[in-house]
Amino acid sequence: MGAPPAAEEPYHRVPEGAGGFWPHLEAGPCPRSGVIRRDIRAPPGDRGGTTLPPGRGRSRRARVRRRHMATLCRPAVSVPEYVITMEQTLALARARHPDHPQLPLALRLIENTGVRTRHIVQPIEETLKHPGFAERNKVYEIEAKARVPAVVQRALDDAEVLTTDIDVIIYVSCTGFMMPSLTAWLINSMGFSSDTRQIPIAQLGCAAGGAAINRAHDFCTAYPGANALIVACEFCSLCYQPTDLGVGSLLCNGLFGDGIAAAVVRGEGGEGIRLERNGSYLIPKTEDWIMYDVRATGFHFLLDKRVPATMKPLAPALQTLAGLHGWDASDLDFYIVHAGGPRILDDLGEFLQVAPEAFRFSRATLTEYGNIASAVVLDALRRLFDEGGSHHRARGLLAGFGPGITAEMALGRWHRTSEETARHDL
């Protein structure tokens, strides 16, 4: 879309529900598309809707929105080649902690996760060792650089864009640390433009997958026609701590797995979920329920026993977001949510009054890969794509849950091209 006529006054344009993540950006063109953004500063107190200059009616507003709608395209996902089964996990727990007074409880909790297999970045013999935080972080960097580019390339290919079409890279990970972020290395090694924005997110844990989708949505709305690349890289096995013997730690040893995911959010065109609204919700006074205790030995994961019950306060937040959009969270066509554990999915289904089948994609990720942290939401979405997607304009919800306790939520409609729509409807 070209710039409005020069004689007109700049006008405000903020997406419905996108909030003000970039509320004060200066006027200027999208770096690659050339689309002019006259002024996107929201009026005070305005967190949604669209304000147009005098004389501009709803029909033009609708045309603008249709022309520049952020579409979340097919994710690419990869898991490492080393596999550990539920049976192996239980056997290891028995062998390493035979005298643990709460071993029977820990074993029962691990079995109840429903996780059948997990993929890890090193052989189990290496995973069980602890060479020190520095050595583990070196493994994180080496493996990330070895494994991420192929996943990124598949995501770009699936979205039918080039590295030079990407305006921002949003990289999420909570299982290793690099500075500069892996985003800088990707830009240098894969041919992204040197003016590509970088947004690394390291401290939202499992909620970061949803947060990345929402920040990409915000960016593509702030810069109409821009494209965002989301990358999630989680090597949870590198956070294994052999001296952590609490029941929560033993449970986590049987729950988390490793995985990499990437997806493109296109500012124009593309097949997938057209993002319409997003939001975030923090349960007050729960910041110590999921947290890292950072020591010389690395990240020690602390999980409060109250975490599995968090859907009771989070489900109303999902219902509120949907209600603001004129939707009913209990009556949508698809649900892509973080699978932190089976009770999360069971309770969410109960509170939203939706059938267990609604969360089949998230449950499949949990069963086959375990909890792969920020990559869960993208893998669950990949499974929806593999099933053939949903019908054109089907309404859906995406949500990631993590430390805070934080929920990152998004609403969107399934979008197909005319050709795809016709083929799907045959």
Q: How far is CA 281 from CA 11, 86, 210, 344, in A?
A: 30, 34, 12, 16
Q: How far is CA 362 from CA 162, 273, 378, in A?
A: 29, 17, 10
Q: How far apart are CA 261 and CA 249, in angstroms?
A: 25
> What burial class does residue 343 get, using C-beta atoms within 10 Å of its C-beta: 0-12 exposed, 13-18 middle, 19+ buried?
middle
Q: E strands within 91-210?
A: 117-120, 168-172, 197-201
Return all residues near 297 (Cβ < 8 A) that are at least 6 apart.
Answer: 130, 132, 133, 241, 243
Backbone φ, ψ for residue 55 (5° rounding): 90, -10
Q: How far apart are CA 49 and CA 38, in angstroms?
A: 17
Q: Which of 73, 174, 206, 236 is catalytic?
A: 206
Could you tell me if 258 and 119 are in contact, meaning their C-beta atoms sit under 8 angstroms apart?
yes
Half-sphere exposure of 334 (CA within 13 A, CB side): 28
Cα-Cα-Cα-Cα torsion 25, 223, 50, 274, nearest 10 degrees, comes to -140
Nearest to 321 by CA among 268, 399, 250: 399
Please, what is the angle between helix 103-112 and helix 86-96, to 10°? 170
Dihedral (CA of 185, 171, 370, 93) sign: positive
- Quick one: tokens of 204? 């939202």
Active site residue 206: yes
Backbone φ, ψ for residue 290 (5° rounding): -130, 115
Residue type, 201: I
Could you tell me if 163 and 191 are in contact, meaning their C-beta atoms sit under 8 angstroms apart?
yes
Q: Which residues are catalytic?
A: 206
